[in-house]
């Protein structure tokens, strides 16, 4: 692969001079909760919002997401605030339903090696070429992750964005150990853009700004940041979510940093 080859992929909206932010709540909990975040992101001039509709919870008794109701809430807020919507698909049976509502389909860390789900997501997006955000398995090597991406692209949708989200290691000071080297390695070894999810490795909100700045400095093409109007009341991942106000403060700092690198945050 030559140095001059562009890393941008068709229809992705992520060029080398843009850093896309996928912010939004861990879980979609109600129309009011989601709208409040959507309004804040639109005010910031952002283009996407994320939210969990089907939640892959480690504990089966934890909140599992609102399912199709969440997809409806996301679609209507997306229209109202002119934001593209991104959500995780956890089951092959949900592929056509989720695809019919969203602009981007996320594959979570727990499903990186669920090859039948990857193939089905490739098939359901084969004509639309909707963006697939492909998270790294928490114990997967970069070469396993890149190989698995081909299960998605083999049906013709090349519009895949890789997403580093932290690894399971011996370290307990953070929820997961963020592998920042994944950013330059993915750029070196593939044509895919790379997002860094800074909320799940942090586990607590005060670490989020440092990880976000480090990711921008490392050259990421996108960031994922969880934002909730009232984190202590969140039904999932409360400790790591930023309030809209905290998010706006961070975004200002990230925009200054991005400007130094001749990049723009969208
Ligand atoms: C998420 O982004 O909502 C999520 C569950 O992330 P991960 O798959 O990285 O744990
Ligand atoms: Mn979460």
Is 197 near ligand 1, meaning CB less than 6 Å away? yes
Is 109 near ligand 1, meaning CB less than 6 Å away? yes
Pocket perturbation via mutation, ligand 1, pick of 165, 222, 226, 227 by most ligand atoms within 8 A of CB:
165
How many CA within 13 A on the CB side of residue 158? Answer: 8
Q: Determine whether domain 14-265 maps to CATH 3.20.20.70.
A: yes
pLDDT at 13 over 70: no
pLDDT at 68 over 90: yes
Tell me the pLDDT tens digit for each residue of 97-116. Answer: 999 999 999 999 999 999 99
What number is the average pLDDT over the span 196-218? 98
pLDDT of residue 1: 38
pLDDT of residue 3: 40
pLDDT of residue 6: 42
- Answer with the residue of higher pLDDT: 208 or 3: 208
Distance between CA 47 and CA 66 in Å, rounded?
A: 24
Is 196 near ligand 1, meaning CB less than 6 Å away? no
| pLDDT-derived band at 10, boundaries 50, 70, 90 | very low
Tell me the pLDDT tens digit for each residue of 143-199. Answer: 999 999 999 999 999 999 999 999 999 999 999 999 999 999 999 999 999 999 999
Q: Could you tell me the two tokens for 103? A: 């602009």
pLDDT of residue 7: 42
Encode 45-60: b = buried (16+ Cβ within 10 Å), e = exposed: ebbbbbbbbbbeeeee
What number is the average pLDDT over the span 227-250? 98
pLDDT at 235 over 70: yes
Ligand nearest to the CA of 175: 1
């Amino acid at each position: 692969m030559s140095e001059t080859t562009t890393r941008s992929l068709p229809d992705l909206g992520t060029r080398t001079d843009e850093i896309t932010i996928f912010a939004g709540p861990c879980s979609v909990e109600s129309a009011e909760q989601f709208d409040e975040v959507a309004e804040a992101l639109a005010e910031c001039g952002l283009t996407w919002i994320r939210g969990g509709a089907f939640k892959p919870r480690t504990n089966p008794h934890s909140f599992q997401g609102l399912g199709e109701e969440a997809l409806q809430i996301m679609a209507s807020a997306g229209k109202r605030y002119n934001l593209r919507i991104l959500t995780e698909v956890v089951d092959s049976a949900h592929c056509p339903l989720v695809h019919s509502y969203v602009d981007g389909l996320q594959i979570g860390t727990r499903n990186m090696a669920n090859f039948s789900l990857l193939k089905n997501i490739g098939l359901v997006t084969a004509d639309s070429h909707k963006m697939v955000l492909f998270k790294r398995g928490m114990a997967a090597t970069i070469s396993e992750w890149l190989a698995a991406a081909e299960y998605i692209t083999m049906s013709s949708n090349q519009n895949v964005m890789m997403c580093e989200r932290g690894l399971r290691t011996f370290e307990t000071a953070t929820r997961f150990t963020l592998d920042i080297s994944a950013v330059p390695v993915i750029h070196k070894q593939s044509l895919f853009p790379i997002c860094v999810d800074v909320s799940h490795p942090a586990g607590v909100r005060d670490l989020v700004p440092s990880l976000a700045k480090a990711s921008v400095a490392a050259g990421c093409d996108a960031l994922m940041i969880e934002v909730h109007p009232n984190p202590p009341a969140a039904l999932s991942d409360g400790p790591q979510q930023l309030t809209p106000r905290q998010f706006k403060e961070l975004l200002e700092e990230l925009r200054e940093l991005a400007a130094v690198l001749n990049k723009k945050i969208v």
